[in-house]
Structures are given as structure tokens and as C-alpha cells.
């Protein structure tokens, strides 16, 4: 391993601690890690695969007693919302899908809609409060993201649910596996298979 690899690993390890302890997303966690390590802002950042490896290692060392239960609770809550939002073809992604989530992690659901405003109208009809933000879309463009707070009795707190609004046509390429053969997202049937499998915490196997 050369000096560049050593530095990438050091940044990834620092960012992993921030991801787990603060529930921060990968991008901001990498930037925070640079600052905490006193490195220039232009320093090359580790890729998400290396960071995810470090997150898994951190969880295994420091959170082995609590994380599996918290992950299952979040996946069960995600399943409830996916049932509720079934007409919008919801797919779970992010840490809850990949198996690295803790109680601080948001639930990321991607909705593939024929009408981009249909999900908002549904939330309004259900009298559910939400905020509107944005997230990167599959072609690099910004798309709407609806943020709402869902109570979890098991966790004793509210969980942020982020609904990213995508076009129905975007679903075609959504299930392509990553470089390690793992899918980046899964539908309700795939999530239920994870919940039925009591042994592995990691999800996303293609």
C-alpha cells in the first residue's frame, strides 16, 4: 500500500466514525474527515466502496450489540412505508438497504412516478407534514426529495424518511448491480427477503 492508499484509508476511517456516530451522509462525512485530519480541501477523497468497508468494520467493532436490532427496526419501518406508497413503485436504497444503518440513519426510498407531483398530493391527502428538498438524480440533475418524520416506538424517537421523486422510466436501469455485484436498491419483495433471512445484516446482494 502506497502513501496515497494510506491517506485514503485514514480519511475513510475518520469518515466512517462520523457516519456511524452522527448519522451523516457519505459526502459531508468525507469533508468533515478532511477538516478533522487537518488536510487540504483539495485532497483526493476515498470512494464510497472504501468508506462503506470502513463503516462495516467500525460497526463490527463498536456497535455489534446494538446495530443489528436497529437495522431490523428501520427495515421494518421502511417496509410499512413501502406498502403505504406502493402505487409509486418504492425502492429502498442507502444504508438501510445496504445493511449499515443505525438508529441515526435516515430511510431512503426512491419513488418512480408517472406524475412527479402525485406523491406530494398523496402526502397532503394523508395530512402528513413534509419538507421539500433536492437530491442528485440518475442523470446528474437535481430532483425533488420529500422529507418527513416517522415515529418509531421501538427506537423511541422519530426517523427521517427521504422520498426521492424519479420518473417511471428511470426504473429500467435502477437495479443494475455495482462493481461488486450488489444491487444499489430493492423493492418491497426484496426487502421482505432480507427481513426473512435472520443471519446476514448486509443487504443488496444481486
Reduce the DSSP state of residue 53 to 3 states and report it.
helix
Per-residue model confidence (pLDDT) at position 206: 35
Which domains can be identified in the chain, with CATH numbers?
Answer: 3-62 (no CATH), 67-196 (3.30.460)
Q: Would you list the DSSP string of 69-114?
A: HHHHHHHHHHHHHHHHTGGG--EEEHHHHHT---TTPPEEEEEEES
Rounded to 10 degrees, what is the CA torsion of 78, 79, 80, 84? 100
* Tens digits of residue pLDDT in 36-67: 999 999 999 999 999 999 999 999 999 999 99
CA dist., res. 106 & res. 32, Å (int): 19
Per-residue model confidence (pLDDT) at position 205: 44
Tell me if 16 sits within 8 A of 54, measured CB to CB: yes
* Tens digits of residue pLDDT in 80-94: 999 999 999 999 999
Q: How many beta carbons lie within 10 A of that of residue 168, not counting itself?
A: 14
Per-residue model confidence (pLDDT) at position 183: 84
Q: Taking the model in full, what pTM does it have?
A: 0.90
pLDDT < 70 regions, the chain: 1-3, 173-174, 177-181, 198-206
Report the number of secondary-structure helices (H) and strands (E) in the chain.
7, 6
CA dist., res. 137 & res. 200, Å (int): 30
Per-residue model confidence (pLDDT) at position 116: 87
Amino acid at each position: 500500500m502506497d502513501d496515497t492508499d494510506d491517506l485514503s484509508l485514514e480519511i475513510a476511517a475518520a469518515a466512517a466514525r462520523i457516519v456511524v456516530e452522527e448519522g451523516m451522509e457519505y459526502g459531508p462525512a468525507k469533508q468533515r474527515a478532511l477538516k478533522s485530519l487537518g488536510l487540504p480541501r483539495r485532497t483526493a477523497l476515498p470512494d464510497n466502496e472504501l468508506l462503506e468497508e470502513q463503516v462495516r468494520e467500525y460497526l463490527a467493532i463498536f456497535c455489534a450489540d446494538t446495530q443489528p436490532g436497529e437495522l431490523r427496526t428501520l427495515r421494518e419501518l421502511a417496509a410499512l412505508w413501502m406498502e403505504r406508497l406502493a402505487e409509486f413503485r418504492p425502492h429502498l436504497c442507502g444504508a438501510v438497504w445496504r445493511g449499515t444503518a443505525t438508529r441515526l440513519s435516515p430511510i431512503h426510498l426512491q419513488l418512480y412516478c408517472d406524475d412527479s407531483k402525485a406523491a406530494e398530493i398523496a402526502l397532503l391527502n394523508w395530512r402528513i407534514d413534509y419538507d421539500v428538498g433536492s437530491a442528485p438524480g440518475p442523470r446528474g440533475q437535481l430532483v425533488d426529495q420529500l422529507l418527513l418524520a416517522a415515529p418509531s416506538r421501538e427506537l423511541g424517537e422519530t426517523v427521517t424518511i427521504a422520498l426521492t421523486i424519479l420518473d417511471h422510466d428511470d426504473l429500467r436501469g435502477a437495479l443494475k448491480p455495482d462493481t461488486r455485484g450488489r444491487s444499489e436498491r430493492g423493492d418491497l419483495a426484496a426487502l421482505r427477503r432480507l427481513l426473512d433471512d435472520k443471519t446476514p445484516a448486509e443487504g443488496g446482494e444481486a
